[in-house]
Structure 1
Amino acid sequence: MKIINHSDVTMLTSLAVLLAVVFLFVQVPARPQMWLYPLVRQGAQAKLNYETRNMAEFETEHFIVKYTPADRDTVQMVAQAAEQAYKPVTKELGHDLKDKTIILIYPDKNELRKAFGWSNNESAMGVYWGGVIQLLSPKVWMKEGDSIEDFIHTGPMVHEFTHLVFDHVTSGNYPRWFTEGFAQYVEYQVNGYEWIIPTNTLDQKLYTMDQLSDDFDNLDNQALAYRQSLAAVRYIAEVHGDEKLKQVVSGLKKGQSIEKAISQTLGINFADFDAAWREWAAINMKN
């Protein structure tokens, strides 16, 4: 006689619901997709949570950090950084989360790559996907002598948590360039950190907005794509005001395209916005 494990039944039921929702998600127009998107995210989160059910857990007020024995001595640092990010990020977006956020810590690059099906050439300190923040162990990338403050100010927590809250606020209605620009902007505001390397200076040929919108992840110079995204978002906040940036986000929340949300908020057409942020960035983001 086969013994039925109720957790397995629950998981199979969740997967069946997820598949049904995904089918509906790709069949309906963009605006109704926003109503289905939270269900898709919830299903993906349930799947990840089930797949990592054997990992140890460390729980705080707003987070559940899951880890392997290799990160037993770093989990409290990650949890502290997460809690420190919670208030400024949720305040910036005007949105508190009802449920605790799951954070997964992978012990090495191979485990993180395996989770996303990446090649050996790809690497990241952190990734947000499917309602879950997934981090590379701080042991892999922190330098000897680095403190918890170094991790808080240069680590990925503010950036990835911004992605998560922004995703909840907008129900997935955003282009990749804008969420990356917005996450960098909040990181810049909170920690004063800006990713600047020799290959992403803005005094070179820049990508078009169509390239950023349609093919962000496949662009050859990812660092430049990220820097341009930050420049466009900083232009909105620093020239037109932070309230205008929040209005753009509100437009996305209502189901507007990014082009309409920006044009309606700033009172200019999108082509003029594109020209304006480039001109502003050439003067104000020279490094």
Structure 2
Amino acid sequence: MIPRHATSGPVLPTVPRWPSWRRLAALGCLALLLTALGVAPGGASPVVRAGQLAWVGRLTAARVVAQWPRPGWERLDAGRVRVVYRTGHRQGAEWVRDYALESLPRVARMTGLPIPAQPVVFVVHASPEELARTFGWDPRDPPLGLYAAGVIHVADPRTWASNRDTFARLGPVPHELAHWLLDWNTLGNYPAWFTEGLAQAVDRAVTGFTFGWAGTCPRVAWSDLNGAFASLPTDQAYGAALCLYDRLTERGGGGALPRLAEALAAGEPFAVAAARIYGVDPARLLPGGSGR
């Protein structure tokens, strides 16, 4: 977890035991989503497709749970943005709604990634500390936001930002929207470092915010970056992620990311797709050569 934004790990709320008719409805929604996303047998690696099918299941369950009516929570709908919030925190939810509506087209234009037909779901928690406790983290060092399985979780901005401008400049909305767009457009087929590099680049472009490691290129082995990203020191992991993302972008130009997302959604392994689209083995762009 980075100090200001959490990583986009596969964290899921507890799924309730629904009555049989609700389970059938959920399965029906899953089938419709599979059809809409074009996830069907054939034409892709069985291993990759199995992972993408699991991704659809996790995402569908998490979104259903996040939006399910329950005591103490309310909802705001506004076009492509849906905000679920703690009762008593409507003003903070409106800040999130308004800035998400403003930021989503900007993030989409910057990345070139299409905005999904499904609305982006935000869950506004009562405070950063409550957000941390919800996911089992230390409330003494809470995040302001995180993306997990199709849902963006944020702390009520009025509990830490004095005004909307501060929230827009320092808040997590553009960063987490970048995670959401990449996840939807690739059906979950990407390494953790790539989504974190992209999200930091979006933050830098949209809000001007950067972390202290921006501009550095830490030496990280390719195997560690892909297999042990969450275990690396924060500045090393996220510094290398942003550096490598920037180096790939320099090679491929602005239109490369949408083409990469299409290849990943079709089930192509990331390293293979990136080498084809950017014209270089990504591992070779790490400091020190291949990094293997």
TM-score by length of 1: 0.77
| Corresponding residue to 1:168 among 184, 203, 227 | 184
Q: For residue 264 of structure 2, what is the aligned residue in structure 1?
A: 252
Question: CA shift at 1:103, angstroms?
Answer: 0.8
1:44 aligned onto 2:62: yes
Kindly, what percent of the aligned residue pairs are identical?
A: 22
Match of 1:34 in 2: 52
1:136-285 matches, within 5 Å, as 136-142=155-161, 144=162, 147-196=163-212, 202=216, 206-219=219-232, 221-275=233-287
Q: Unpaired runs of 5+ in structure 1?
A: 1-6, 19-27, 279-287
Post-superposition offset of 1:74? 1.7
SS in structure 2 of the partner of residue 238 of structure 1: helix
Partner amino acid for 2:175? H
* Displacement of 1:53: 6.1
Q: What residue number does 1:88 align with?
A: 106
Alignment pair present for 1:100 and 2:112: no
Call closer, same or farther: CA 1:141–1:161 in 2, change over 3 Å. Answer: same
Q: Deviations over 1:116-144 (max 9, x none)?
A: 222446521111112111001213332x4
1:11-54 CA-partner distances (Å, limit 9, x unpaired)? 45567899xxxxxxxxx622343245223311221123227564
Cα distance in 2, alignment partners of residues 163 and 209 from structure 1: 21
Distance 1:52 1:131, change over 3 A: farther
- Aligned-pair Cα RMSD in Å: 3.1
Code of the aligned partner of 2:147: Y
- 1:171-229 Cα shifts (integer Å, max 9, x gaps): 000110001111111222222222226xx7737x533222221122222x213311221
Alpha-carbon distance in 2 for matches of 1:60, 1:51: 17
Identify the structure with the greater helix proportion.
Answer: 1
TM-score w.r.t. length of structure 2: 0.76
Please state how far the C-alpha of 1:268 moved relative to its aligned partner.
2.5
Q: Judging changes above 3 Å, is the alpha-carbon distance between structure 1 residues 207 and 253 closer, same or farther for their aligned structure 2 residues?
A: same
Larger RCO: 1 or 2 (CA < 8 Å, sep 6+):
2
Structure 2 unaligned spans of 5+:
1-17, 30-45
Deviates more, 1:256-265 or 1:157-166: 256-265
